[in-house]
Amino acid sequence: MAVSRRGTDVADLVRRTVEAEPRAVARLISLVENDSPVLREVAAALAPYGGQAQVVGLTGSPGVGKSTSTNALVTSLRAAGKRVGVLAVDPSSPFSGGALLGDRVRMQDHATDPGVFIRSMASRGQLGGLSAAVPQALRVLDAAGCDIVLVETVGVGQAEVEIASLADTTLLVVAPGFGDGIQAAKAGIIEIADIFVVNKADRDGADQVVRDLRYMQSLGGRHSTAGAWRPPIVKTVAARAEGVDDVIAALDKHRSWMDEHGELARRRRVRAAAEIEAIALGTVKLRLGGVHGSAALDAAAARVVDGDTDPYTAADELVARL
């Protein structure tokens, strides 16, 4: 029976999503975001449709111009006939839904364009938080035929690094006057950035930011081997859409480089492995704490306390029984 107990016709939703029907796309993202009981069914139904979209992460401190850049990128990509997804992700916000972030994301230009899917996500929802929900939302947008999905995160902390690492290509947006370089270096973002965007190039200090980035790059050293990708530094004035085509050119170049070096496939395998591992560990944990598991766990705990066995042996026995 295609219709599940809760009345969600997953097969129909997926069919309409593949046909890029906006309401079906929105509904499916809600399902995966809220850890719905049909999540597994949705994931299974989406499996054959993945792998087409280039997932691009944009990260950087509030105020550097990420929303403005995203908006300008969408305009350019649409002009080139691409179908675009936008996920605005706020790892620090406990609130879910579009309203809050919706105000932030200045996407009105594209609100009525059927070739653009825009969605906000905050950390409420799935068990594993955003790092679990975002990949599922990406699969939905991928199935909807997006050529490119822009994932915008709001800061340069550890959570942003985690979300950014879900992307095929990561853009770090910085601007003069934000002291971002140091913060980004601390959070490890310099290490994962594939393209640096120095926005607000109309402001004093932009060239200094470029020099700082070059200096930090030179310290890293990981890009010095032959054939390695050396993250380009692109200057933009997003507010006037200047330099946006250079960013798109850099994205294309990175995509080609990844294809040539097997890097796209490698990154995607690493991500899928991490995802499977997280789900498997979650399942194991659930079973250990489940009706039967907890009794077995209690019994094992008592034996360890009584000195009848050691915790390693007890753990091995428990895992073997799963």
Distances (CA, A) of 312 to 81, 287, 298: 58, 18, 15
E-strand stretches of 19-76: 54-59
66 binds ligand GDP (CB under 6 A): yes
58 binds ligand GDP (CB under 6 A): no
| Contact window for ligand GDP (CB under 6 A) among 32-40, 160-168, 185-193, 235-243 | 235-243
E-strand stretches of 183-280: 195-198, 233-235
Nearer to ligand GDP, 241 or 318 (CB): 241
Q: From the list 20, 239, 279, 296, which residue makes contact with ligand GDP (rule: CB under 6 A)?
A: 239
Angle at alpha carbon of residue 110, lines to 109 and 115, rounded to 5°: 155
| Contact window for ligand GDP (CB under 6 A) among 66-74, 78-86, 107-115, 273-281 | 66-74
* Beta-strand pair 169-174/233-235: unpaired
How near is the Cβ of 249 to ligand GDP at its closest, in Å? 18
- How big is the site for ligand GDP, counted in residues (CB under 6 A)? 15
Nearer to ligand GDP, 36 or 170 (CB): 170
| Contact window for ligand GDP (CB under 6 A) among 158-166, 195-203, 255-263, 282-290 | 195-203
63 binds ligand GDP (CB under 6 A): yes
CB 20 within 8 A of CB 51: no
254 binds ligand GDP (CB under 6 A): no
| Contact window for ligand GDP (CB under 6 A) among 32-40, 49-57, 233-241, 304-312 | 233-241
Nearer to ligand GDP, 40 or 203 (CB): 203
Per DSSP, the chain holds a count of helices (H) and strands (E) of 14, 7
* Beta-strand pair 84-90/233-235: unpaired
How far, in Å, CA of 69 to CA of 116, rounded? 15
How near is the Cβ of 67 to ligand GDP at its closest, in Å? 3
| DSSP type of residue 155 | -
Q: Which has the closest alpha carbon to 111: 141, 69, 143, 74?
A: 74
199 binds ligand GDP (CB under 6 A): yes
In this structure, what are the phi and psi dihedrals at residue 116, rounded to the nearest 5 degrees?
Answer: -130, 130
CA 38, chain centre distance (Å): 22
Nearer to ligand GDP, 235 or 255 (CB): 235
How near is the Cβ of 250 to ligand GDP at its closest, in Å? 17
User: Which amino acid is present at 289?
Assistant: G
64 binds ligand GDP (CB under 6 A): yes
Q: From the list 209, 238, 250, 258, which residue makes contact with ligand GDP (rule: CB under 6 A)?
A: 238
Per CB under 6 A, contacts with ligand GDP among 26-45 are none
How far, in Å, CA of 202 to CA of 177, rounded? 12
How far, in Å, CA of 275 to CA of 201, rounded? 38
In this structure, what are the phi and psi dihedrals at residue 21, rounded to the nearest 5 degrees?
Answer: -80, 120
121 binds ligand GDP (CB under 6 A): no
Contact letters for ligand GDP, residues 81-100 (x by CB under 6 A): --------------------
Q: From the list 53, 55, 65, 136, which residue makes contact with ligand GDP (rule: CB under 6 A)?
A: 65
CB neighbourhood size of 69 (10 A)? 25
Q: From the list 37, 48, 51, 62, which residue makes contact with ligand GDP (rule: CB under 6 A)?
A: 62
Q: Name the site residues for ligand GDP (rule: CB under 6 A).
A: 60, 62-68, 199-200, 202-203, 237-239
